[in-house]
Structure 1
């Protein structure tokens, strides 16, 4: 059994009140029904009315109670809490920060933890458990499986869920009821063909995150996280030839 490592850039909130499930159900991209039925963890996003990404986080129903936890990156926590509070109105919901630590690991999970719902390669996550100093190369795992990160590939007021892989990573449910931004997300799923989005590419060289990707004289996208000769890039799918980002050369993988 592993103790896992502490994620120092995360906060944990507690969500209580009789309306906690219905409140989140009407706001986030994933379905809260599984958590109403049993303990578990989901990954979801909060969107603008125009369907653009604002924040992503995990929602957890622990084994030891009916309260909910939210596991969120610290640098978007305050703004996300402010926005959630705007929607609360008369709902019986209370949201408060806790001092619980987030731990995560790749070995055998300790009791009370849950598998990361995005991808099996991301192991497990726990809340309120002791952890060790970070040593795992999470960027390498993310690049290998094209998993976006808050504030890097996931850009507030810019990113769309389907272009950033939320459907592939179990972060959006197309069968649930309405939520903020649902109409645009559903239309992209059912009525359009994606022409751009995140993919993993081969990279020869390196360039800063955010460097434009060029295909000849045309801009093809943006370079993001890099690791082990590969990178995550947001690209127009019709311009993935002869790509460069700064001095680095990129190539689509088979």
Structure 2
């Protein structure tokens, strides 16, 4: 969902589930928990005279289900998935963003999904680590409302933006940026390269920026960080063409926290983006 200036308001996942209610058509919307009430207010403003009802539900919780059989980043997570007690299963759907990201499970909030799912990772830590490993953004921390653009957040690669569905709020700037092909900053995965491989940053050491020793200036902002991985909005060319070990994590006081690396995630359609193709050609010719 975008604002009129083409900036991201909220990232949402929609599920069309008619069996839940008596009405002919019902849609569940998954969103960051902290913006639920704001989202309802916005939707009510846009419904105009349509005879629809919009309300919050606490009856269900959402689980990110990652099959343990997925050994590599690019492997399709639709393989070998077991559940032992499907009578309480409400709705299980392949995550619509990328194949290797697992499933979304909508399950009664008064029940524990770990009791019937097997061969899966169901902890919050496992899910957060998978997001950072693959460079997948979600929620207001990764996508601060009114402060980021959908193409910089790779949402077009995650089935979050359409260029064929017609008009929508914020479409004009989004379409123009897409067709010019000039997207110089993108959200990218970050991996720390500390001398001590077991080192993890403390809460007061959370990084805020990426500094390039090659250009002697800041080349990115850190949006999320956990353990030794993070997600940052980086200048593509500057970070990918930087000399090895020249990218530095910096804290909010400008202190150096250690070296960091980034790379293009496997799921980006590299041949469809002119900037990415140019950078890859330069890397090959170095």
Q: Which has the higher strand share?
A: 1
Which of 177, 191, 202 pairs up with 1:188?
177
CA distance in 2, matches of 1:177, 1:157: 22
CA distance in 2, matches of 1:80, 1:227: 27
Alignment match, 2:190: 201
Displacement of 1:54 in angstroms is: 0.5
Give CA-to-partner distance per residue, 1:167-210, whole Å, 9 cap, x none: 11111111101000011111111113111111123312448556
CA distance in 2, matches of 1:210, 1:83: 33
Alignment match, 1:106: 66
CA distance in 1, matches of 2:235, 2:40: 34
Alignment match, 1:131: 112
Alignment match, 2:222: 223
What is the RMSD computed on CA atoms of the aligned residues?
2.3
8 Å Cα contact 1:102/1:125 also seen in 2 = no
Q: Which has the higher helix share?
A: 2
8 Å Cα contact 2:18/2:26 also seen in 1 = no
Displacement of 1:235 in angstroms is: 0.5
- What secondary structure is seen at the aligned counterpart in 2 of 1:170? coil
Alignment match, 1:34: none
Within 5 A, what are the aligned runs for 1:1-254? 46-62=1-17, 64=19, 66-104=25-63, 105-107=65-67, 108=81, 112-129=91-108, 130-132=111-113, 135-136=123-124, 137-205=126-194, 206=201, 211-216=208-213, 217-226=216-225, 229-240=228-239, 241=242, 242-246=246-250, 247-253=257-263
Q: Structure 1 length as normaliser, TM-score?
A: 0.74
- Count of paired positions: 209
Asked which structure has the greater CA Rg, the reply is 2
For structure 1, which segment, 202-211 or 159-168, has the greater mean C-alpha deviation from structure 2 after superposition? 202-211
Sort the Cα spacing of 1:68 and 1:228 in 2 relative to 1 into closer, same or farther, 3 A: same
Sort the Cα spacing of 1:132 and 1:153 in 2 relative to 1 into closer, same or farther, 3 A: same
8 Å Cα contact 2:249/2:260 also seen in 1 = yes
For structure 1, which segment, 211-220 or 225-234, has the greater mean C-alpha deviation from structure 2 after superposition? 225-234
Displacement of 1:154 in angstroms is: 0.8
Sort the Cα spacing of 1:59 and 1:182 in 2 relative to 1 into closer, same or farther, 3 A: same
CA distance in 1, matches of 2:3, 2:185: 20
Structure 1 gaps of 5+ residues are: 1-45
Q: Structure 2 length as normaliser, TM-score?
A: 0.66
Give CA-to-partner distance per residue, 1:150-170, whole Å, 9 cap, x none: 122211111111111111111
More RCO (CA 8 Å, sep 6+): 1
